[in-house]
Amino acid sequence: MTRYPSPANCSVSRMENGTGGRQGREDIYLSIVIPAFNEKSRLSNTVKATLEWCSRSVPSYEIIIVDDGSSDDTLLIAKSFSGHFDRVVTLEQHHLGKGAAVKEGMLRAAGKHILFMDADGATPMGEIRKLLGKMEEGYPVAIGSRVADNSMETTVITSFHRKIIGRTFAMLVNLLAVPGIKDSQCGFKMFRDDAAKNLFRRQKCNGFAFDVEILYLAGKMSLPVAEVPVHWTSQSGSKVSPFVDGFRMLMDILKIRKVHKG
């Protein structure tokens, strides 16, 4: 039997910060969007960690979980959190793809800063501070990167073949769509509120290549992008096939310029 979260399992209470109810959406400092597809084994720990970090680290926040038509108990787990915690919102859609789920959450978010992150918790929550720092410097877009010039800036734990595939894909992305970005696919990206709305309203790609599309659009709109090295650990249960999904992503990338020409 699946055990769902309750306030006793997490140090953040429903009455957190004395609000006694859902905060005014115009007062949110940080929105965190978590797309989820068949993530019943990983979502609870990630949402708990997010709640606990946010309650200690930012003045106000919301967590938006977007279920992408899961066939397991992901939606029930997400709804259990939003039922217990005022700062958690659950959205649901038919299975359209990660890109569609992220877009839904980003357009619904009300925070001054809006982050989307993967449900697997591959990037430690503390790395959010690095992206917020770039926001405070004036960048409208700050993205986590698993590539760094200085080896002390980031630790990346993954298999050798995934590193090779990732480097090859990054080279193709630079060549075909987004020059100068070392890692377009890290699922840890933050946007100023107005930049998020302008970019994601224009998004067409529903699949995994949406990251590249968003960065391509940022370039077209002359929005500076800060690429920030982050620590990252590959998690078991990935929904991405390096070969099958990699090929689909490549096909989508080839379409980006055509879709957004003019």
Residue 61: Cβ-neighbour burial (10 angstroms; 0-12, 13-18, 19+): buried
* Domain ranges across the chain: 7-259
Distance CA 229, CA 187 (A): 13
- At residue 228, φ and ψ (nearest 5 deg) are -115, 120
pLDDT score for 12 = 65
Report which residue type is found at 227.
E
Residue 24 burial (CB count, 10 A): 10
pLDDT score for 203 = 97
Which of 88, 84, 40 has its CA nearest to residue 65?
Answer: 88
* Residue 92, strand partner residues: 67
Please answer whether residues 232 and 146 qualify as being in contact, where contact means their C-beta atoms are separated by less than 8 angstroms.
Answer: yes
CATH code, residues 7-259: 3.90.550.10
Output the tens digit of pLDDT for each of the chain's 262 residues.
444 455 445 666 543 443 334 556 669 999 999 999 999 999 999 999 999 999 999 999 999 999 999 999 999 999 999 999 999 999 999 999 999 999 999 999 999 999 999 999 999 999 999 999 999 999 999 999 988 666 566 676 655 556 655 666 767 777 777 888 999 989 999 999 999 999 999 999 999 889 999 999 999 999 999 999 999 897 765 556 665 666 777 788 888 888 887 6
DSSP 236: S
Please answer whether residues 81 and 90 qualify as being in contact, where contact means their C-beta atoms are separated by less than 8 angstroms.
Answer: yes
Pairing of strands 113-117, 188-192: antiparallel
pLDDT score for 178 = 87
pLDDT score for 177 = 76
pLDDT score for 98 = 96
Distance CA 91, CA 105 (A): 8
Pairing of strands 88-93, 156-157: unpaired
pLDDT score for 7 = 45
Please answer whether residues 47 and 79 qualify as being in contact, where contact means their C-beta atoms are separated by less than 8 angstroms.
Answer: no
pLDDT score for 254 = 82
